[in-house]
A and B are shown apart, each in its own frame.
Chain A
Amino acid sequence: MNKKEFLTSLETRLKKLSNEEREDILQDFSEHFEVGKAEGKTEEEIAHSLGSPGQIGKEILASYYVDKVETSSSTTNIFKAVWAVIGLSFFNLVIVLGPFIALVSLIVAGWAIGASFVVSPILFLINIAVFPDAFMLFDLFFSITLCGLGLLLIVGMLYVSRISIKGFVKYLNYNVNLVKGGMNS
């Protein structure tokens, strides 16, 4: 692979980045080639020691997506970041995907329970409408209590979701650092 092929290959992988940032990265590598050539190396030798543009692109993209989640944590951003970090290595597949699935299930379950508690008085009313004979005061009060509990749970879940997202982004970041050469845990 010569300099042009290397840079083109890297460029296609960095399409998602802003023009400015992509140019900056390509400039760094272009400089690397020029200095190497001035020292008498061939473009092929330099490209070979640099390693695969694919892997370099992956590393750059992963930290790009994680940065993006930090500024705005929309669902698509989070999924993109998770995916990008997983792409770094098999190690991350195990260590990122597992906790992510667990966390998402817990949050979804929490919301589902909260919501079903809140609607329980409505279910009670439907039950009365369908079977008027089945009216029991205990059921009424029980469903009202559940409704209150559900409301509390939902408010709680709001906080839990927000904190989990923040925590998980930190965890992602830690993983990127780990893979990309950080020792700061």
Chain B
Amino acid sequence: MNIQFKKGALELCVLALLNKQDHYGYELVKKISDRIAISEGSVYPLLRRLKKEEYFTTYLQESQEGPSRKYYQLTDKGRDHLNDLLKEWEHFSEGVNHIIEEGVSHE
């Protein structure tokens, strides 16, 4: 799939995952890359940008194995943003699906 397109969806994926519960970086990356082929490193710049936009906050938490982990927690602002993005996404995918159906059924 087109790279630009994938990256557009990445933000939505991150916010949607954090909507349910807090995650640490590695977990977020794995959950996304299990489903979509991405270059995993680009998730971190995205996380930094969204944090700067105050869509989530971070906190450190110890773990049994390995070093303490940085968890990401969605803010109210982030939740609002997620809802906006979801609306856009639904509108967009509805449109695309409609066009595909039209195009493919007439072949």
Contacts and interface: CB of A to CB of B under 8 A. Distances in A.
Q: Are A and B subunits of one complex?
A: yes
A35 B24 contact: yes
Contacts, number: 88
A38 interface: yes
Contacts of B67: 31, 34
B89 A183 contact: yes
Interface in B1-38: 4, 7-12, 24-26, 29, 33
B45 A180 contact: yes
A132 interface: no
Contact of B44 (A38, A56, A179, A184): A56
A28 B42 CA distance: 12
Contacts of A38: 65-66
Given A28-B44, A31-B69, A183 B8 contact: yes
B46 interface: yes
Q: Tell me if B's interface is mostly helix, strand, loop or mixed.
A: helix
B25 A32 contact: yes
A128 B71 CA distance: 77
B40 interface: yes
B70 A28 contact: yes
B39 interface: yes
B89 to A, nearest CB: 7
Interface in A164-185: 177-184
A49 B66 contact: no
Interface string A25-47: 10111011011111000000000
Contacts of B12: 183
A59 B67 CA distance: 27
Given A36-B26, A51-B41, A183 B11 contact: yes
Contacts of B25: 28, 31-32
A93 interface: no
A25 B41 CA distance: 11
A140 interface: no
Given A25-B48, A32-B26, A36-B26, A179 B41 contact: no
A96 to B, nearest CB: 14
Contacts of B69: 31, 35
A91 B42 contact: no
Given A25-B44, A63-B49, 10 more contacts: A28-B25, A31-B70, A38-B65, A51-B42, A67-B52, A91-B4, A181-B9, A181-B46, A183-B8, A184-B84
